[in-house]
Amino acid sequence: MKIAIVGRSRWLLNTATTLAKAGHQIVSVVTAKAEPFYHCEPSDFERMASEIDADFLGIVKLSNRDVRERIRSSGAELAVSINWPTIVNEEVIRLFPRGIMNAHCGDLPRYRGNACPNWAILNGEDSLGLCAHMMEPDEVDAGAIVLKDHFKLEPSTYIGDIYAWLDGRIPTLLMEAVNGLEQSTLVPTLQPVDPSLALRCYPRLPEDGRIDWRQSEKIVCRLVRASSRPFEGAFSYFGNMKKVTIWRASPYVHEQPFCAVPGQVLLRVEGDPVIACGQGALRLEDIEVDSLASAETKKMIGASLRQRLY
């Protein structure tokens, strides 16, 4: 099948390579400005397009008439997209006889929109859905589902664990979905139209990772797990407002009832500071201040029971 690649991220780049190796012809590559955590630049797409002899359009707007005409002239039957920055309209979708297939990291029809893996951890979900679905014009993640897979979420699952799974699964899921469409072994299933079944997720910013120690240790731990690498990390402040980034933490069972101010250092366990929450306590396992090693930071934070995190 002749395919156009439309979007950003290492996931899409690897998907294009996977599709090409499976015998599909990548005829057009369209990208946009990258985000830092995509681990992929427009130049990577340009290099890939050159290697497989595909037309590279670069960073463009799909609303541009010349861009649309160039895509149409490529002869692409289907577009495969990940992380395109804007909602596409009917005119763009009609450029491709088979439409645009999108990979979405959310369990459609729920978890539409942005940062769905992060929100799934924050909401305490049991699993994360990954969908290959067809785009609908002027809609967010509303098109028919071609193929779906799930990743089980444990209380110990970090956002980095999800991304490691997505790194390998997105290219293979999309390849299976494209093959299924081409061979008519998969039939897209329409999503229900009941709006109460959808959960619209909105973007998160680095400052959303600031910890409110008045919350329970369960909620704080979810924030740490949802904000960790490859993102900027959950954070707090101490002393003269030094920022401490918390990469890993786990609930700690205090051996007896206790009274403490939320954010207060309670004790150290094998060098790890234990911090009081509004309910329960949290053991800080991997933390960083001013690029100091984790062990040095733990010693600094846990030096006194009068120490507070804010």
Per-residue pLDDT, averaged over 55-81, amounts to: 94
Tens digits of per-residue pLDDT, 136-163? 999 999 999 999 999 999 999 999 999 9
Asked if residue 303 has pLDDT above 90, the reply is no
Asked if residue 37 has pLDDT above 80, the reply is no
User: What is the predicted pLDDT for the residue at 204?
Assistant: 96
Amino acid at 138: D
Among 254, 240, 290, 250, which Cα is nearest to 272's?
250
- The angle formed by the CA atoms of residues 123, 163 and 146, to the nearest 5 degrees, is 85
Q: The tokens of 252 are what? A: 């700690």
Asked if residue 184 has pLDDT above 90, the reply is yes
In the chain, CATH 3.40.50.170 sits at 2-201
Distance, CA of 23 to CA of 3 (rounded, Å): 11
Q: Does domain 206-301 have CATH number 3.10.25.10?
A: yes
Per-residue pLDDT, averaged over 244-264, amounts to: 96
User: What is the predicted pLDDT for the residue at 156?
Assistant: 97
Asked if residue 291 has pLDDT above 80, the reply is no
- What confidence category does residue 39 fall into, taking pLDDT thresholds of 50, 70 and 90? confident
Tens digits of per-residue pLDDT, 79-134? 999 999 999 999 999 999 999 999 999 999 999 999 999 999 999 999 999 999 99
113 strand-pairing partners: 201
By the 8 A CB rule, do 105 and 128 touch?
Answer: yes
H-state helical runs in 22-139? 42-51, 65-73, 90-93, 116-122
Q: The tokens of 113 are what? A: 């929109």
Asked if residue 190 has pLDDT above 90, the reply is yes
Q: At what angle are helices 42-51 and 10-21 packed, to 10 degrees? A: 10
User: What is the predicted pLDDT for the residue at 170?
Assistant: 98
3-state helix, strand, coil in the chain (%, to 5): 30, 30, 40
In the chain, CATH 3.10.25.10 sits at 206-301
Q: At what angle are helices 159-183 and 10-21 packed, to 10 degrees? A: 40
User: What is the predicted pLDDT for the residue at 64?
Assistant: 92
User: What is the predicted pLDDT for the residue at 310?
Assistant: 94
Full-model pTM: 0.93
Distance, CA of 141 to CA of 133 (rounded, Å): 8
Distance, CA of 274 to CA of 285 (rounded, Å): 9
Per-residue pLDDT, averaged over 2-15, amounts to: 97
Residue range 2-201, CATH number? 3.40.50.170
How high is the mean pLDDT of the chain? 95
Distance, CA of 171 to CA of 201 (rounded, Å): 24
Tens digits of per-residue pLDDT, 198-218? 999 999 999 999 999 999 999
Percent of residues, the chain, with pLDDT higher than 70: 100
User: What is the predicted pLDDT for the residue at 158?
Assistant: 98
